[in-house]
Amino acid sequence: MLEVNEHKYYVPVTSYRTKQSENILIVIGKDKHNNVKGSLRFNYMFPVPENCITERIIKNEPDSGRRIFLNAQLRFCISNAKTILNQAKRTYLIVTRELNEGLLSNSCMFKLLEAACAEYEADLRSKSKNPNETHK
């Protein structure tokens, strides 16, 4: 989870393996066929309400191969945390300031998603203060 513009953002991890300006390739180990195991797609990141965030416990993953793979991805992200955060902030600024038309047409609308996220959180706070009130 990253913090960008005072919001917690989730950056999708995908199987996409082609380098672009707004992604970071996940490079793991020395696979003789292909050491690129996916990418972080910053143009598709989105804000996440605090109450929707859950921790994934890798050791509870039933498939041992999947556990190994998830641990490798986690190690990659930890060792590249500063680069990842910088890329998230860079992408956010380019998109929200409309500096790249091509990227803008192929990205999430961050400000719109932030407003929806804030509205959702406000609605939850309102419901918790007035649990007997019904909303239509």
**In this structure, are residues 107 and 91 in contact, taking their beta carbons and an 8 Å threshold?**
yes
Residue 52: pLDDT band with limits 50, 70, 90:
very high
| Cα–Cα dist 9/46, whole Å | 5
- Residue ranges and CATH numbers for the domains of the chain are 2-129 (3.10.129.130)
Q: How many CB atoms lie within 10 A of CB 117?
A: 19
Q: At 85, phi and psi to the nearest 5?
A: -65, -45
**In this structure, are residues 135 and 122 in contact, taking their beta carbons and an 8 Å threshold?**
no
pLDDT tens across 70-94, in order? 999 999 999 999 999 999 999 999 9
Residue 130: pLDDT band with limits 50, 70, 90:
confident
| Cα–Cα dist 44/129, whole Å | 33
| Cα–Cα dist 38/78, whole Å | 16
Q: At 83, phi and psi to the nearest 5?
A: -60, -40
**In this structure, are residues 135 and 127 in contact, taking their beta carbons and an 8 Å threshold?**
yes
**In this structure, are residues 115 and 109 in contact, taking their beta carbons and an 8 Å threshold?**
no
pTM for this prediction: 0.86
Tokens 């143009």 correspond to: 43
